[in-house]
Structure 1
C-alpha cells in the first residue's frame, strides 16, 4: 500500500488524478458524490480516496476541514448507503501540518458485484471508474456483473421456433456415434431423442422437444435463420487503424460475414485470416515450409475461445464476434465480460476452466471440425495457455488482453519479442548480469506492454522466477512498480534512456521496425484513428498519454503507440526527452494543417 505522501507526490507530478485515486476537498461537508466513487472503486480494481485536499491548489490541505466529522460520515455512508456495504479502511492522517481523511476501498469479490448506491437501485446506482471520473454502468454492464452471482443458462434455453429438422443429420449422427462409444451406459441403449435430451441438444418446451441454443449453434443447419447476428465478421485492413483506405479508396482488403454452425464458423473464419496473412518460406533441411504472420493454431484457439465464452444472453444476441487483421496486429473481440474468478492478469498463467456457457463448452468438446476428425475444443481450460505457448514458440510478442464489462478483446502484435532492435536496445542500457527472464520482461516493456508476475508466468516462467526478475529490475532502476500487491504492474523507469519507438521521439516512419508496411492494396492516405489522437491533443488540450487514453477509452500502450507515430509523421512534437516526467505533447504546424482539412 502506497504511503499518502507518495500518492500526493505522484498527483502533483501528474497534475491530475490517476484512475485509482480520487481527491475531494470536502470543505463544506461530506460530498454526496463519494457514494458514486465507493461504488466505482468497489466494482473496479479498488482505489484510494483522499478527503481534505484541494485539487485546484496543487493538492494542498484545505482550510476548515473537519476530519473527525468527515471520517464518521464516510464510515456511515460506506456501511448504510451502499449495497453490499463497502468494507473499507478509513483513517485520519496528518499531512503537511493538517489532518486529512484517507479511505482505502478494496475491489469487491466478483460474486458480490455490482456494488451500488442503495437509494438508486442496482440499475441506477452502479458505477465504474473511467479515467479520473465515475461513470454509471449501462443496463448491459450491470447484467454482466449480476451474471457472476450464479451460473448463466442462456445456452440451455429452448429455441421455440426451431425443430429437430433444423439440425444437421450428419452432424447429429456423428455426435451420437461418438458419445455412445465413449459412454455406452448413458447413451447406447436409448433412442436418439433421449440421447440428445441427455446431452442438452434438445430441451423440453411444454410438450415439445426443441433444440437448445447450444444445440442449435453446434449442430444446426443454419443457426442464423433464428439468430442473424450470432456469427463472425472478418475484415482485413490496409493499415494500422480502422478508417484508413488504400489509394483507390478501399477501406477493406477483405470483408466477410462468416455464418453457419460454430464448427463451420471456426473453420471458415480461420481460413479467412489465413487467406489474408502475409506468408514466408522457411527452409528446414532439404524441405521448404510456409510460415504465416500468426501461427494458425493460435488463430484457431482465439476464434474458438471467443465463440465459446462470448455472452449469448438476450442483450448480446445482436453483437457478433469480430476479427480484425491490421498491418501490425490481429484483433479478436467478443461481447460479454470475463466470467467467474477469471481475471485479465491471470489469463494464460493457469489453466482456468470457468465457463459462462457450460453446456456449449461441453458440446464443443464432442463436436468435430468439418473434415478434420478432431473436436472443436478440449474444454479443459487449455485454450489461452496453448495460444501463449504457440506464440512463444514462434518468438512473437505476448498478446494483450482487454476486458471490460461489455467485451473481451485479444490483440496479437505482429512483431517478434526479441527482434534485432530490441536486443540492441537492451544492450544499450549497459547493464550486465541480466537473466533470460529479465531480457524477456525488458523486451515486453520495450514494446509498450505493462508487465506483471502473471504475464511472465503465462510466458513460461514460474512465479518465484518472475517475482525475482521484476524485483531486481526495480532495484536496478530499470523498472518501477505501481498498483497494490494483488495488482502489481511494472513499467519502464523514467530514468531509463530509451532509444526505441515505444518511448522515443526519434521515430523513422519509413523504417520497417518503426511502422508496419501496408498490406497489399495501395498507399494509405487517411487515418481517422490517428486524427482522433491529434484532435485530443490539439482541440481538447490533452497533452499527456494517460489523459488522451482516458479520453478515447484506449489502453495506455495503444495510445502511446499512436502518439509516437504522429511524432514520426511530424504532426506532434514532445516537449521533453522520453526520460523526463515533464514530457508533454503539442501539435506542430503540420498537425494544425491536418486538423484544418479533416
Structure 2
C-alpha cells in the first residue's frame, strides 16, 4: 500500500504542495498478480480537451515546466526539446501562424499572374468572397492574403509572393535521390540527383512533382488492346502527398528553419514535413478522411489557387487527400501509403514496386475468366501469389479494402477455384494454378505422381517426406526419386542437405515472381 499511497500523493491534486507532477494526467491505479506477489499498475491517459482544461506536457514540479518534461526512449528518460514541448502544448489549440504578417514584404512582392488567376478562379467558382470589394487590397484582405493592418500574411506570401524565400530561405522542398536504401549507406556517391524547389508554393509543389517523376521508372500498362505509360507512383498520389506536407507542416518560429524533404530511394519515396500530428490525429486514424489543419488560411488558398498552367487546384481541403492517395496506389497494385510521426515531424512512405507489373499481368491474363475478372480480384491474386498465403486481416492491411470486401473477393476467387482457404484464412493460390505456372515457366511435364506430390506441398509450410507420404498415402521410398526430379526441375525447394534428418520441402513459387523479388 505504500507504493499506491505514494503514487496517489504524487499524482493527486495538482494544486496540492505534495503534487510532484503538473498538470495532473488522468490515471487509474490497480494491482495485478505477479509470480508470488502483486504489482502496482498505473494506467495514464494523455491529456486532451475531453479530460483536462490544461494543456501538456506534464512536468516534474521541482524541475519546472521548461526542463522538467520527459519522454521515454527505450529504457531511458530523455528531456523534451523546446520544440517538442511546444508541439505538445499547442496540439489542441489554435495555431494560426500562417496568418502572421511577414515583416518587410510589400505589395510589389506579390506575383501579378498568380494574384489574377486566384481572383479569376474564385469568380468562376461562384464564390461570394470578392463581392463588394473595390480594389485588389480589399480583395486580398478578404482572402487573408493581407491582414487587417495591410500587411501580407505568411500564407499569402507563400502562395502569391514572387520569391517568398527572400524572407524565409528554408521554406523550400528538398528533393534528393539516393543510390542505396538508406541515407547513411556506405558508398562514395552520396546522392544521384538533388533539387531544392523554391518560389511560390504552386510552382514549388509542381517543380517537386516533376523532379520526383523524372527519377521514377515508367512502366508500360496494357488494358485490353490499349497500352500507355505510367510512373511507378501515380502523379496524383505524389501531388496529394506533397501538397499535404506543405499544407499541414508547422510554420511556427521553431520550424521555419526546417525544409520539407523528399527522399527517393530504390524501393520507396519518403516525404518528411516538420511538425507532429495535430488534434486527435494519430498514425492509426490519420486515413479516416477527417479534415484538420494547423494552417487554415493556407489550406483555403491551396483550395482556391489554380495549378500553374493546368486545370484544377492543388488541394480540396475536405479530408479527401489521403483516401485519394490510397485509391491511386491501390489502382496500380502498390502497397498503401505508410504514415509515421513523432513529436516534431510526419513521414509519408510511398513504395515504388507494385504488384501488377507486366509479367504479373501476363500471368493473370492466362487465368480462366481473365476478361471479366475485377481489378480488385486481380490485385488479391497477385498479392497471394507474391506472399504465398495471407489472412483476411493481412489482405485488408495491404490492399486497403474493408474486411467485408476482402471476404467477398475471396469468395468469388474460391468459387472459381483460383484460391484455397477456410474462414478468415490463411488463403493461398490453388495448387492447380501454381502447378500450371511452375510447369509453364520450367517447360517440365509432370507425371501423375509428381503432380500429386507437388499439389501436397505448400509455398510457406515446410513438409518432410514422411508428412507428404502420409498425406497422399504413398511410401517414403516411392517419393524419393519423385522429389529429386522436382528439385532438379526447380519446382520444389529442399530446406536442408540430402543427408539431414531435418530435410523438408517447399513448393517453389513462380519463377518470374522470384526474379522480381531478387
Structure 1 length-normalised TM: 0.60
Which of the residues 98, 110, 117 maps onto 1:155?
98
Which of the residues 111, 120, 132 maps onto 1:177?
120
Q: Can you list the C-alpha shifts for 1:338-377, whole angstroms capped at 9, x where unaligned?
A: 11111111122x2110001011000110101110021111
**C-alpha spacing 1:183/1:120, structure 2 compared with 1 (3 Å):** farther
**C-alpha spacing 1:475/1:367, structure 2 compared with 1 (3 Å):** closer
Query: Could you say which residue in structure 1 is the equivalent of 2:247?
Result: 308
Query: Could you say which residue in structure 2 is the equivalent of 1:393?
Result: 331
**C-alpha spacing 1:477/1:303, structure 2 compared with 1 (3 Å):** closer
- Quote the offset at 1:408 in angstroms: 0.3
Provide the secondary structure at the position in 1 that maps to 2:84: helix
For 1:251 and 1:198, how far apart are their aligned partners in 2?
47
**C-alpha spacing 1:512/1:259, structure 2 compared with 1 (3 Å):** farther
Which of the residues 179, 193, 201 maps onto 2:145?
201
**C-alpha spacing 1:284/1:454, structure 2 compared with 1 (3 Å):** closer
Query: Could you say which residue in structure 2 is the equivalent of 1:144?
Result: 87
Q: Can you list the C-alpha shifts for 1:165-184, whole angstroms capped at 9, x where unaligned?
A: 10101111121223244456
**C-alpha spacing 1:295/1:418, structure 2 compared with 1 (3 Å):** closer
Which of the residues 113, 127, 133 maps onto 2:56?
113
- Quote the offset at 1:194 in angstroms: 1.1
Q: Is the 8 A contact 1:159 1:211 kept in 2?
A: yes
Q: Is the 8 A contact 2:115 2:160 kept in 1?
A: yes
- Quote the offset at 1:186 in angstroms: 4.2
Moved more, 88-97 or 375-384: 88-97
For 2:394 and 2:47, how far apart are their aligned partners in 1?
22
Query: Could you say which residue in structure 2 is the equivalent of 1:87?
Result: 26
- Alignment RMSD: 3.9
- Quote the offset at 1:398 in angstroms: 1.4
Q: Are residues 1:76 and 2:76 paired?
A: no
Q: Is the 8 A contact 2:172 2:204 kept in 1?
A: yes
Which of the residues 293, 314, 322 maps onto 1:355?
293
For 1:116 and 1:212, how far apart are their aligned partners in 2?
35
For 1:193 and 1:452, how far apart are their aligned partners in 2?
55
For 2:224 and 2:378, how far apart are their aligned partners in 1?
31
Provide the secondary structure at the position in 1 that maps to 2:339: strand
- Quote the offset at 1:243 in angstroms: 4.0
- Quote the offset at 1:317 in angstroms: 0.7
For 2:106 and 2:205, how far apart are their aligned partners in 1?
24
Q: Is the 8 A contact 1:346 1:455 kept in 2?
A: no
Query: Could you say which residue in structure 2 is the equivalent of 1:229?
Result: 170
Q: Can you list the C-alpha shifts for 1:490-519, whole angstroms capped at 9, x where unaligned?
A: xxxxxx8599xxxx999xxxx75445xxxx
**C-alpha spacing 1:132/1:367, structure 2 compared with 1 (3 Å):** same
**C-alpha spacing 1:477/1:318, structure 2 compared with 1 (3 Å):** same
Q: Is the 8 A contact 1:230 1:320 kept in 2?
A: yes
Provide the secondary structure at the position in 2 that maps to 1:140: helix
Contiguous gaps of at least 5 residues in structure 2: 13-18, 361-375, 411-420, 428-459, 464-494, 497-505, 507-513
Which of the residues 278, 290, 305 maps onto 1:367?
305
For 1:198 and 1:216, how far apart are their aligned partners in 2?
15
For 1:438 and 1:280, how far apart are their aligned partners in 2?
17
For residues 246-257 of structure 1, the aligned pairs below 5 Å read 249-257=188-196
- Quote the offset at 1:203 in angstroms: 1.2
**C-alpha spacing 1:184/1:514, structure 2 compared with 1 (3 Å):** closer
Provide the secondary structure at the position in 1 that maps to 2:67: coil
Structure 2 length-normalised TM: 0.69
Q: Are residues 1:239 and 2:172 paired?
A: no
Q: Is the 8 A contact 2:332 2:356 kept in 1?
A: no
For residues 396-435 of structure 1, the aligned pairs below 5 Å read 396-416=334-354
For 2:220 and 2:319, how far apart are their aligned partners in 1?
33
Provide the secondary structure at the position in 2 that maps to 1:280: strand
Q: Is the 8 A contact 1:336 1:406 kept in 2?
A: yes
Q: Can you list the C-alpha shifts for 1:4-42, whole angstroms capped at 9, x where unaligned?
A: xxxxxxxxxxxxxxxxxxxxxxxxxxxxxxxxxxxxxxx
Q: Is the 8 A contact 2:31 2:39 kept in 1?
A: yes
- Quote the offset at 1:266 in angstroms: 1.0
For 2:346 and 2:311, how far apart are their aligned partners in 1?
30
Q: Is the 8 A contact 1:110 1:341 kept in 2?
A: no
- Quote the offset at 1:454 in angstroms: 13
Q: Can you list the C-alpha shifts for 1:406-437, whole angstroms capped at 9, x where unaligned?
A: 1100111223358899xxxxxxxxxxxxx989
Q: Is the 8 A contact 1:364 1:375 kept in 2?
A: yes
Q: Can you list the C-alpha shifts for 1:461-497, whole angstroms capped at 9, x where unaligned?
A: 168979xx9xx9999799xxxxxxxxxxxxxxxxx85
**C-alpha spacing 1:497/1:163, structure 2 compared with 1 (3 Å):** farther
| Number of aligned residues | 400
Provide the secondary structure at the position in 2 that maps to 1:352: coil
Q: Is the 8 A contact 1:417 1:444 kept in 2?
A: no
Query: Could you say which residue in structure 1 is the equivalent of 2:432?
Result: none
**C-alpha spacing 1:187/1:438, structure 2 compared with 1 (3 Å):** closer
- Quote the offset at 1:288 in angstroms: 3.2
**C-alpha spacing 1:473/1:113, structure 2 compared with 1 (3 Å):** farther
**C-alpha spacing 1:446/1:405, structure 2 compared with 1 (3 Å):** farther
Provide the secondary structure at the position in 2 that maps to 1:331: strand
- Quote the offset at 1:301 in angstroms: 0.8
